[in-house]
Chain A
Amino acid sequence: QITLKESGPTLVKPTQTLTLTCTFSGFSLSTSGVGVGWIRQPPGKAVEWLAVIYWNDNKRYSPSLKSRLTITKDTSKNQVVLTMTNMDPVDSATYYCAHRRGQTDTGGAFDYWGQGTLVTVSS
């Protein structure tokens, strides 16, 4: 059974760096084809893909946020960490991590999601 859970601060100040951790079980990020992604949804807005990391350590980032994002994995701990620098109130959103279903390091879909964590950016 695949499960994922996000953890991190619920409140960050503008200009601070956000660090979110995704702890998962039921699969290994060292298995060929596996990926873990981050997706967010600001209140009242559409979902937005942020980043993904694959079993081979390849990474993809949203072009509009690439300069602010870093995604890493710790295979031994079954964790994926996303950092986002220079947070702004417009970054307030529910942040989800999700298991990427696919066979290569492109394409595929997100078939298992965490419950999400609401992050508010405010001074």
Chain B
Amino acid sequence: QSVLTQPPSVSGAPGQRVTISCTGSDSNTGAGYDVHWYQHLPGTAPKLLIYGNNRPSGVPDRFSGSKSGTSSSLAITGLQAEDEADYYCQSYDLSLSGYVFGSGTKVTVL
């Protein structure tokens, strides 16, 4: 069972906005550690999508992240077919002294 909880799946029509939640605890996201987001397409390595509240160079501004306390979310606006992938949140856990990933959310473009 993952330390960070994500919904198994979300879906939306092209052009719509979808959000993926990531719920942590007082020992990770609630302890002040940033949440980061990855996009994982089949057969490829995960790609860092959001670093804290920032987008690495080359990531479209359709992707944005937010965090409040132990709750975080990734928003995708103007959903495109190429956004169909698995998305993971990640943080650092003070109690575990290590990195934690969410359970992953599959985004389906209808």
Contact = CB atoms under 8 A, between A and B. Distances in A.
Interface of A: 37, 39, 46-49, 52, 60-63, 96, 98, 101, 106-111, 113-116
**Looking at chain B, what size class is its interface with the partner chain?**
20 to 34
B48 interface: yes
B33 A47 contact: no
Interface in B28-52: 33-34, 36, 38, 40, 45-48, 51-52
B98 A101 contact: no
B45 A115 contact: yes
* The 5 residue pairs across chains A and B that have the minimum distance between CB atoms: A113-B45, A109-B36, A49-B99, A107-B92, A46-B104
A48 B92 CA distance: 13
A45 to B, nearest CB: 8
A113 to B, nearest CB: 4
B63 interface: no
Contact of B45 (A49, A60, A96, A106): A96
Interface string B71-101: 0000000000000000010101010111111
Given A47-B88, A116-B45, A109 B51 contact: yes
Given A109-B90, A111-B56, A49 B51 contact: no
27 contacts: A39-B101, A46-B2, A46-B101, A46-B103, A46-B104, A47-B38, A47-B40, A47-B101, A49-B90, A49-B99, A60-B97, A60-B98, A60-B99, A61-B98, A63-B97, A63-B98, A96-B46, A101-B48, A106-B33, A106-B94, A107-B33, A107-B34, A109-B34, A109-B48, A109-B52, A110-B48, A113-B45
Contacts of A113: 45-47
A114 B56 CA distance: 17
A101 B51 contact: yes
A114 B45 CA distance: 7
B102 interface: yes
